[in-house]
Amino acid sequence: MSHKQKIVTIDGPSGVGKSTISRRVAQALSFTYLDTGAMYRAVGLKFKEAGLDMADETALRKCLDSISLNLLPAGEGSENVGVILDGRDVSQEIRSSEMSMIASRVSAFPAVREKLTYMQQEIGKKGEIVAEGRDTGTVVFPRAAWKFFLDADPEVRMHRRAKQLRSKGESVDEEELLKMIIKRDRDDQARSIAPLCKAKDALIIDTGLMTIDEVTQTMLKVIRKELT
């Protein structure tokens, strides 16, 4: 473990319980929770509000250069990290279904990935990070000491997401939601740069038949075995 970074990476498709589990693992270890998806969402919101022509690479890079992005720990009673974009609190705004799809779209642009990967590596430099996303074990932190890939059946994930959205007062069309989940998986897996895929050295956990608590405890056991 000497040549490895004291970093936990947790990757997988949407709706596998990644965020809740990552937050709990980070809390239990007193590590910092790095929600990389929130960063892609914030960039998506910035592009959307700028009315950017995404085919215009120069405009896109210019917009990225001017971005100011800060992540804050989740507030009291909140599931999600706080996100400050250009000085404005966008923590709630970036969590809509529309922003999920936009984030997935902008995450395919090399300029976006370059910028966010660099920012994430800077944040992770000192170690003691639990990084959650799609490529944290493969691209962002290939030398992380502990890598996990969480997976579950799309139907299971759809039901979890539906529950989450309903609890926020959003109405849900389950069939439509399932289609969106499958499309987002496909897009995230198909992009040519840093696609969603399992790191060779990641431990794969199917969260479909386990509770969040069971998954968290399984991971903590693995990590603590080697934690010095």
Shortest Å, Cβ 2 to ligand DC: 26
- Longest pairwise C-alpha distance within the chain: 49
Shortest Å, Cβ 22 to ligand DC: 10
At 191, list the tokens: 């992009």
Which DSSP letter does residue 95 get? G
End-to-end Cα separation, the chain, in angstroms: 10
User: Residues in the site for ligand DC, rule: CB under 6 A?
Assistant: 14, 36-37, 40-41, 100, 103-104, 107, 133-136, 184, 188
Shortest Å, Cβ 64 to ligand DC: 15
Nearer to ligand DC, 41 or 147 (CB): 41
Closest CA to 194 of 125, 110, 132: 110
At 189, list the tokens: 């897996």
At 52, list the tokens: 């950017």
Nearer to ligand DC, 37 or 124 (CB): 37
Shortest Å, Cβ 107 to ligand DC: 3
CA 32 to CA 30: how far, in whole Å? 7
